[in-house]
Amino acid sequence: MAPAPDFRRREVRQEWVRDKDGDWLPRPPPTGTRTPNGLIWGHALDDFFHIGRKPGVRVITTWSRSMVMEFGKDHPEEIAPHTYEDELARGPKPRLRKPWPVLKVRKQKGKGKGRAVVLDPPVDAMDEGSAHEDEDEDDEYGSYEVRPSSWDLEDERAPQGFEELKRGPEAGDPFKLKGIPKLEQFIPEAYFPDYILVHDPEEVCYGHPPHYNLKTQGNESPTADDAPPKRFRRVFPTDEMLRERAPSRKIANEDQPHVAHLYVNKHGVMGEGHHSMAYRASVRLPYPLSAHSPNKQVTVAMKLAMGRQSAREMLQNEATVYNSFPRYLMEDWCGYNLCTPDHAYPVPATAVVPKFFGYYVPEFEKENKTEDGASSGTQEKQSTEQTDGEADSTGHSDVYTKSERYSYYSPGGLRHSDNIPSPILLMEDCGTPIIPKNFDPDTRTEIFSLALRLHIDGFVQNSFFTRNVLMQPGPLTLPPHRRTLDRPSFRVIDFGRAEMWDKLQDKVLDSHVRRIRRERAEKKAKEAKEREEKALEGGDTNGEEAKEPAEPEAEEDEEVTREKLLNGDDPEAEKVLNGLGRSWWDKRRMEKDLLRKELGMDIFEC
Please give the pLDDT value at position 72: 74
Banded pLDDT at 232 (limits 50, 70, 90): very high
**Range among 107-116, 209-218, 270-279, 329-338 rated most confident:** 329-338
| Helix/strand/coil for 348 | strand
Of 258, 256, 265, 251, the C-alpha closest to 232 is: 258
Please give the pLDDT value at position 155: 40
Please give the pLDDT value at position 19: 82
More confident residue, 117 or 174: 174
User: Is residue 367 a contact partner of residue 378, using CB atoms and an 8 Å limit?
Assistant: yes
User: Is residue 393 a contact partner of residue 168, using CB atoms and an 8 Å limit?
Assistant: no
**pLDDT tens for residues 494-542?**
999 999 999 999 999 999 888 888 888 888 899 888 888 888 887 655 5
Cβ-Cβ contacts under 8 Å for 323 (sequence gap 6 or more): 236, 237, 238, 241, 356, 359
**Which range (135-139, 195-199, 245-249, 498-502) has the least confidence?**
135-139
Please give the pLDDT value at position 126: 41
Banded pLDDT at 115 (limits 50, 70, 90): very low
Please give the pLDDT value at position 544: 54
More confident residue, 552 or 340: 340
Instruction: Calculate ∠ Cα 285-291-297, nearest 5°.
Output: 60
CA distances from 343 to 12, 349, 449, 450 (A): 11, 14, 7, 11
How crowded is residue 558: how many other Cβ atoms within 10 Å of its Cβ?
9
The whole-number average pLDDT for the span 28-37 is: 93
Banded pLDDT at 375 (limits 50, 70, 90): very low
- Whether 69 shows a pLDDT value over 90: the answer reads no
- Whether 432 shows a pLDDT value over 50: the answer reads yes
Please give the pLDDT value at position 368: 45
- Whether 46 shows a pLDDT value over 70: the answer reads yes
- Whether 10 shows a pLDDT value over 90: the answer reads yes
- Whether 317 shows a pLDDT value over 60: the answer reads yes
**pLDDT tens for residues 261-315?**
999 998 899 999 889 999 999 999 999 999 998 889 999 999 999 988 999 999 9
The whole-number average pLDDT for the span 216-223 is: 53
Of 387, 441, 156, the C-alpha closest to 258 is: 387
- Whether 389 shows a pLDDT value over 80: the answer reads no
pTM of the model: 0.80
Banded pLDDT at 240 (limits 50, 70, 90): confident
How many CA atoms are closer than 13 Å to the CA of 273, on its beta-carbon side?
Answer: 18
User: Can you say whether the dihedral through the CA atoms of 395, 397, 403, 407 is positive or negative?
Assistant: positive
User: Is residue 179 a contact partner of residue 480, using CB atoms and an 8 Å limit?
Assistant: no
Domain borders along the chain are 14-90, 172-338+350-369+384-430
